[in-house]
Amino acid sequence: MSVEKILKRAAREIQDGQTINLGIGLPTMLVEYLPLDHDVMIHSENGVLGTGRKANEKEANPYLIDAGGSYVTTRPGAAFFDSAVSFAMIRRSKLDMSVMGAFEVDQEGNLANWKIPGKFSPGIGGAMELAQKTGTILILCTHTDKYGKSKILKKCTLPLTAEKCVSRIITDMAVMDVTPEGLVLREVAEGLTPEEVIKATDAELIPADTIGSF
């Protein structure tokens, strides 16, 4: 339910003609929500520009997966390349937007999504380069963890993926923008008041002049 809410709202962020990378998990699912009239190039860091939706059993090619390991289709105009070229594209900032998950994001736009010391450290993957070098970083995550603790913090506590990289955060409760003035609350989920969102958030939220709903 909340997942679908996040994805529907996130799909509106993608512009026609953009080149985007969708991180493993929630962001990958965004493919199914993209507006049909939008022509988008999806980059997968294992060496594809132009993946499409997931493949069904008939279409699936055992040699064609996305970075999350799912069999995918490709669109006309797709290209395959090696991992050095794939990350050249990332580090040379040729992607317009990366959509990523988060363990923690803070009001300065710092992002932590790769390691929980002592608990979870399966490796860095492509996250650090994507976060540091993509022009726009869109974060999708639940507003709070399973204990109800805010993931949107004053200051990240976990090892950072990249410093001051996040542009916008979309959660099941709110849409927030990282600005020079601080973290601005733009929209709240239907049924919630700005006060409820602010109360559930560790970061200092600056209410926008007009707060929309989604």
Partner 1 sequence: MNKQATLEEAIAQIRDGASIMVGGFGSPGTPFCLIEELIRQGQTGLTLIKNDANEQSIGISRLIENGQVKKLISTHIGLNKKVVGMMNDGSLEVAFFPQGILAEKIRTTGAGSFGFLTDIGLHSEITDPKDVIVWQGREVKIEPALYADVALIHAHTADHFGNLTYQATAMNFCPLMAMAADTVIAETSNVVTPGAIQPEAVHTPSAFVTSVVAVDTDRPEYGLMEGRYER
> In terms of CB distance, is 17 or 35 closer to partner 1?
17
- Under the criterion CB under 8 A, does residue 57 sit at the interface with partner 1? yes
How many residues line the site for partner 1 (CB under 8 A)? Answer: 66
Residue 18 structure tokens: 């953009």
- Under the criterion CB under 8 A, does residue 67 sit at the interface with partner 1? yes
Q: State how far the alpha carbon of 52 is from the alpha carbons of 38, 134, 153, in Å.
A: 13, 21, 34
- The stretch near partner 1 (CB under 8 A) out of 5-13, 128-136, 142-150, 167-175 is 128-136
The span from the CA of 187 to the CA of 189, in Å, is: 7
Give me the DSSP letters along 165-214. ---EEE-SSEEEEEETTEEEEEEE-TT--HHHHHHT-SS-EEEEEEEEE-
- The stretch near partner 1 (CB under 8 A) out of 3-11, 68-76, 167-175, 199-207 is 68-76
- Under the criterion CB under 8 A, does residue 33 sit at the interface with partner 1? no
**Which position among 4, 13, 45, 187 bears the catalytic label?**
45
Report in angstroms how near the CB of residue 78 gets to partner 1 at its nearest.
5
One of 7, 30, 42, 50 touching partner 1 (CB under 8 A): 50
Q: Which pairing describes strands 41-44 and 48-54: parallel, antiparallel, or unpaired?
A: antiparallel
The span from the CA of 109 to the CA of 156, in Å, is: 9
For residue 112, what are the β-bridge partners? 104
For residue 120, what are the β-bridge partners? 116
SS3 61: coil
The span from the CA of 210 to the CA of 144, in Å, is: 24
> In terms of CB distance, is 94 or 154 closer to partner 1?
94
* CA 176, chain centre distance (Å): 13
- Under the criterion CB under 8 A, does residue 136 sit at the interface with partner 1? no
Catalytic residue check, 45: yes
> 80-119 mask for partner 1 (x: CB under 8 A)?
xxxxxxxxxxxxxxxx------------------------
One of 1, 36, 37, 76 touching partner 1 (CB under 8 A): 76
Known catalytic residues? 45
Using CB under 8 A as the criterion, which residues of the chain lie in contact with partner 1 when the complex forms? 17, 19, 39, 41, 43-50, 53-57, 59-65, 67, 69-71, 74-95, 121-129, 132-133, 159-163
